[in-house]
Amino acid sequence: MCICTPSGIHLEPALKSIEAGKHCLIEKPLEITVERCNAIIDAARRAGVKVGVIFPSRFYEASRQLITSIHENRFGNLVLGSAYVKWHRSEAYYASGRWRGTWEYDGGGALMNQGIHSVDLLQWYMGPVESVQAVAANVRHKNIEVEDTIVATLNFKNGALGTLECTTAVFPGTLKRIEIMGTEGTAILEEDHLIKWQFQQESPVDEQIRNSIKEVTPSAGGASNPADISFVGHQRQLEDMIRAIETGDEPFINGEEGRKSVEIVRAIYESARSGNRVKLIS
């Protein structure tokens, strides 16, 4: 069962599907609060069915290359992880659905809807987040309830620091960008392609990767039009879910993995609301 309802009403159809014994592949975010995520995860565990959460950026070759190199400790100690999602969304975009730009059904604004893909990648690469501090604003889209611009700093449990900038208020928008920097290497991911790959200790594959960078045709990504986002990641994730069902294994991004980004986003929103640094529970 693929659940593609507005973000804040994933829970009800998910529970109905799980009750009927159906495996569920749920669009991001899994739900808009940690409690609602937990309700889905717990129900699936009791029923013995699988839950996957759509985060297609993890399925691109560049993303896999980066996480492999992190696991091989090629970056040394991770120092800084940064994510930038500086996009353009028109007033017509928000007006196209009454759920868009609402706390109840969208769960937030630029961060929960557009930026959560990069939040997922950032915590996947850098590891668990310990605490966050944030400020948020609505600069352009005055007819929505939520933020269209947000900036946060992150402390990771491994001692590294991070930054996050996310907006739907700028024109014309730029490609989303992830920067991972360590004591022995740096990688920069723009949309779904590596644009920088440099290590203190070179391996034979590094020059090959840099040569492939030169051959990449720039993608429009989601900078100004969601329809420009490639379907390839979604296709690979659907294939992964089918594999998990056939083999009995867990999907690559299961419910527990999908919950992580929601917990970070909710902490960032709480920090922006209170003005305080917020510690994450898990």
Sign of the C-alpha dihedral computed for residues 246, 249, 253 and 255 taken in this order: positive
Residue ranges of the chain with per-residue pLDDT less than 50:
none
**Under CATH, domain 58-225+260-279 is a member of which superfamily?**
Dihydrodipicolinate Reductase; domain 2 (3.30.360.10)
pLDDT tens digits, 139-191: 999 999 999 999 999 999 999 999 999 999 999 999 999 999 999 999 999 99
Tracing tokens 């400790």 back to the chain, one arrives at: 73
Q: Is 47 exposed, middle or buried (0-12, 13-18, 19+ CB in 10 A)?
A: middle
Task: Give the CATH fold of the 2-55+235-255 domain.
Answer: Rossmann fold (3.40.50)
Start and end residues for every CATH 3.40.50.720 domain found in the chain: 2-55+235-255
Start and end residues for every CATH 3.30.360.10 domain found in the chain: 58-225+260-279
CA pair distance 218, 200, nearest whole angstrom:
27
**DSSP H or E stretch at residue 177:** strand 177-182
pLDDT at 26: 98
Q: What is the pTM of this model?
A: 0.96
pLDDT tens digits, 96-117: 999 999 999 999 999 999 999 9
pLDDT at 245: 97
19's tokens: 């009750």
CA pair distance 115, 167, nearest whole angstrom:
8
CB contact burial 142-153 (16+ within 10 A = b; e otherwise)? eebebbbbbbbb
